């Protein structure tokens, strides 16, 4: 598959087929993640494939406290602070699926990286490890799309309990939890952003 095709095909998917994902495809996708650039060549990324179903449930429900927000009034209250209608639409579709996608996807990937505590970060430069891990994550998502796989980059609010439960070493952070697999329905390609409205040459 051409690079442009994989880029256009990648979309966030939150509903999956039960079909298992081939081990060699998973390894290829993670290998693509490790090819990403990183600050100071650190590539501190390590992965956990959470396959034990009971451990997954404890991780997601008890430690991440993920839940499907389904109550209309609660969703409206959550969205009250947002103005953008497109963004509101995304949340209306996705808030009711947050727990379900994490519990039901055939695979669950946790991406970890080394990062000093946020309280010790003084400059944006100090956030380079976070920036780098997202380059790794994007490589993973693109490699998935090229392999017909899709997922969702779920970003937990508080990872302390999960890090302890999974035995993740001190000094390491969880960047993302990615439920993934073959999509329940093929996602539509994104219509495409208008570059001309965003590109400035020489001056803003
Ligand atoms: C940093 C980051 C955090 C995200 N966190 C979540 C999340 O917690 N839950 C979720 O359902 N989607 C999450 N997403 C997915 C976005 O909602 C999605 O990328 C966006 O709506 C654009 O859709 P697309 O990925 O299909 O192009 C996240 C994406 C990024 C890049």
Cβ-proximal residues to 118 (8 Å cutoff; 6+ apart), any chain = none
Relative to the CA of 141, which ligand 1 atom is closest?
A: 25
Cβ proximity of 114 and 174 under 8 Å? no
Angle, CA 22 vertex, CA 179 and CA 143 arms, to 5°: 60
Exposed/middle/buried for residue 58 (C-beta within 10 Å: 0-12, 13-18, 19+) = middle
Q: What pLDDT is stored for residue 190 in this prediction?
A: 80
Q: Which domains does the chain have, with CATH numbers?
A: 3-52+105-182 (3.40.109.10)
Q: What pLDDT is stored for residue 193 in this prediction?
A: 84
- Please give the Cα distance from 168 to 162 (Å, whole number): 8
- Please give the Cα distance from 21 to 91 (Å, whole number): 28
Q: Which of 152, 180, 183 to mutate to test the pocket of ligand 1 (most atoms within 8 A of CB)?
A: 152
- How far apart are the CA of 41 and the centre of ligand 1, in A? 27
- How far apart are the CA of 90 and the centre of ligand 1, in A? 9
User: Looking at ligand 1, which residue's alpha carbon is closest to its atom 27?
Assistant: 11
Per-position pLDDT tens, the chain of length 204: 799 999 999 999 999 999 999 999 999 999 999 999 999 989 999 999 999 999 999 999 999 999 999 999 999 999 999 999 989 999 999 999 999 999 999 999 999 999 999 999 999 999 999 999 999 999 999 999 999 999 999 999 999 999 999 999 999 999 999 999 999 999 988 877 899 999 999 999
- How far apart are the CA of 155 and the centre of ligand 1, in A? 8
- How far apart are the CA of 168 and the centre of ligand 1, in A? 24
User: Looking at ligand 1, which residue's alpha carbon is closest to its atom 6?
Assistant: 154
Which of 90, 43, 87, 59 lies closest to 156 in space, CA to CA?
A: 59
Q: Which of 99, 153, 193 to mutate to test the pocket of ligand 1 (most atoms within 8 A of CB)?
A: 153
Instruction: Name the H helices within the chain.
Output: 3-9, 23-34, 53-57, 72-79, 85-94, 98-104, 128-146, 160-165
User: Looking at ligand 1, which residue's alpha carbon is closest to its atom 7?
Assistant: 154
């Amino acid at each position: 598959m051409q690079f442009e095709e994989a880029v256009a095909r990648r979309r966030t998917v939150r509903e999956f087929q039960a079909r298992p994902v081939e081990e060699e495809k998973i390894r290829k996708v993670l290998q693509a993640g490790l090819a990403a650039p990183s600050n100071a060549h650190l590539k501190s990324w390590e992965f956990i494939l959470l396959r034990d179903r009971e451990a997954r449930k404890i991780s997601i429900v008890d430690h991440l406290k993920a839940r499907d927000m389904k109550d209309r009034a609660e969703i409206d209250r959550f969205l009250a602070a947002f103005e953008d209608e497109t963004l509101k639409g995304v949340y209306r579709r996705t808030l009711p699926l947050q727990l379900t996608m994490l519990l039901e996807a055939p695979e669950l990937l946790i991406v970890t990286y080394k990062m000093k505590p946020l309280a010790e970060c003084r400059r944006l430069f100090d956030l380079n490890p976070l920036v780098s891990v997202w380059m790794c994550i994007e490589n993973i998502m693109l490699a998935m799309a090229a392999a017909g796989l899709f997922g969702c980059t779920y970003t937990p609010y508080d990872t302390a309990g999960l890090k302890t439960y999974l035995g993740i070493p001190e000094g390491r952070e969880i960047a993302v939890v990615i439920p993934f697999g073959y999509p329940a329905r093929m996602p539509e390609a994104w219509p495409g952003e208008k570059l001309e409205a965003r590109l400035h040459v020489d001056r803003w």
